[in-house]
């Protein structure tokens, strides 16, 4: 049986301070060890060659402004049916106007802090929420409007926040996008190098501002 590699992506799927149980004979990459140290995650080897046990890996942070409230509620029901634990970060009304950057930032921060595995934000067009979420260090937000963009954002860009435009797509299309986006793995390989460069740009900006 080939040995399973434990990657930084596996570690990022665990909440900060949590534990990652990995199969015996696994190979832990250097990046995974660095990420585990940064996030205070304990990597423990199982006694049997079972697949990863990640009890916190299915937490999804969900947020929306008033324009996205109804679609948020619709998606929340499906997420729970699919077995995900949902952290609903608001808003709580379709009639009370609120500002989308507040909710995009809340979702992005939850993901960046390891309090959620992935995040989904809904506003009228999805554009502003993507812009706001991407200002949070550690968040890689992608606006997706069909299954092709959803798959690409995960396979190529390792997006950890999805933004949707409630006025641009139907609830059924949004549901299909979310299902595919959550199930699609990052392809790694040459794409990892490019995602690393995004992270380097982020860190360079942080260094300049400090």
Q: Where are the domains of the chain?
A: 5-55, 59-183
| Largest separation between any pair of C-alpha atoms in the chain | 56
Q: What's the chain's average pLDDT?
A: 88
Say whether domain 59-183 belongs to CATH 3.40.1400.10.
yes
pTM: 0.76
Cβ neighbourhood burial of 163 (10 Å; 0-12, 13-18, 19+) = buried
Percent pLDDT > 70 in the chain is 90
**Residue 55 banded pLDDT, cuts 50, 70, 90:** very low
List, by residue number, the catalytic residues: 156
Task: Give the span between the Cα atoms of 12 and 14, in whole angstroms.
Answer: 5
Using alpha carbons only, what angle is made at residue 132 by residues 126 and 134, rounded to the nearest 5 degrees?
A: 100
Strand 118-123's sheet: what is its strand order? 85-88, 59-64, 118-123, 161-165, 141-143
| Model confidence band, residue 15 (pLDDT cutoffs 50, 70, 90) | low
């Amino acid at each position: 049986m080939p040995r399973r590699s434990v990657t930084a992506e596996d570690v990022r799927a665990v909440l900060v301070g949590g534990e990652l149980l990995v199969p015996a004979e696994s190979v832990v990459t250097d990046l995974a060890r660095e990420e585990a140290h940064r996030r205070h995650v304990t990597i423990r080897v199982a006694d049997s060659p079972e697949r990863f046990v990640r009890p916190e890996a299915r937490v999804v942070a969900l947020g929306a402004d008033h324009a996205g409230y109804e679609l948020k509620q619709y998606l929340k029901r499906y997420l729970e049916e699919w077995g995900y634990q949902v952290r609903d970060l608001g808003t709580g009304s379709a009639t009370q106007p609120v500002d989308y950057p507040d909710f995009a930032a809340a979702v992005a921060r939850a993901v960046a802090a390891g309090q959620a595995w992935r995040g989904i934000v809904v506003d009228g067009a999805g554009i502003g929420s993507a812009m706001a979420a991407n200002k949070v260090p550690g968040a890689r937000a992608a606006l997706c409007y069909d299954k092709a963009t959803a798959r690409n954002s995960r396979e190529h860009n390792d997006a950890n926040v999805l933004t949707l435009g409630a006025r641009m797509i139907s609830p059924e299309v949004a549901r299909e996008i979310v299902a595919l986006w959550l199930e699609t793995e990052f392809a790694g390989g040459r794409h990892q190098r490019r995602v690393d460069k995004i992270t380097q740009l982020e860190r360079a900006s942080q260094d300049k501002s400090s």
